[in-house]
Structure 1
């Protein structure tokens, strides 16, 4: 029977990876948004920006965060398997 890496053992790694994903996704979003006509992403309550721009920024940010988070989580799990020989499980 394969030995499992429990969720509680993987949690500290997941926390560090989550922080890295949040930081990286924020930086990537700012760079992507800077390629639009505005250098600074709109804040949802900025009355000088329209609904379309605010919702586009939110959708872009959400997609970037999701892709980076999934990539980093997957890489972390793969790294744990390479290091321990076992995939982290719940």
Structure 2
């Protein structure tokens, strides 16, 4: 196994935890602006419409994917700078 892959493993695990926390905080703020409500709807919330539930889920997924890509790319770039090879 390449040294860059070995070096990236602990970085990737740590960054995974950071990804969830950052994405969750960003989604919460985005929903306050878009949904005009402090709490995003749950899929089983009987008081919410389908449209609202699906929009919230799509927004949450998009935010998570974007944050994950940014965090993964940052981690790979850091490992590349340290080891001279791109992990992958």
TM-score when normalising by structure 2: 0.90
Q: Distance in 2 between matches of 1:27 and 1:76?
A: 20
Tell me the C-alpha RMSD between the 2 structures. 1.6
Contact 2:4–2:83 under 8 Å retained in 1? no
Gaps in structure 2 of 5+ consecutive residues: none
Deviation at 1:57, TM superposition (A): 0.2
Whose helix proportion is higher, 1 or 2?
2
The count of residues paired between Structure 1 and Structure 2 equals 87
Aligned twin of 1:33: 31
Aligned counterparts, 1:1-90, within 5 A: 4-5=2-3, 7-35=5-33, 36-89=35-88
Q: Distance in 2 between matches of 1:24 and 1:52?
A: 25
TM-score when normalising by structure 1: 0.88
Q: Distance in 2 between matches of 1:76 and 1:10?
A: 7
What's the secondary structure of 1:12's corresponding residue? helix
Deviation at 1:9, TM superposition (A): 4.1
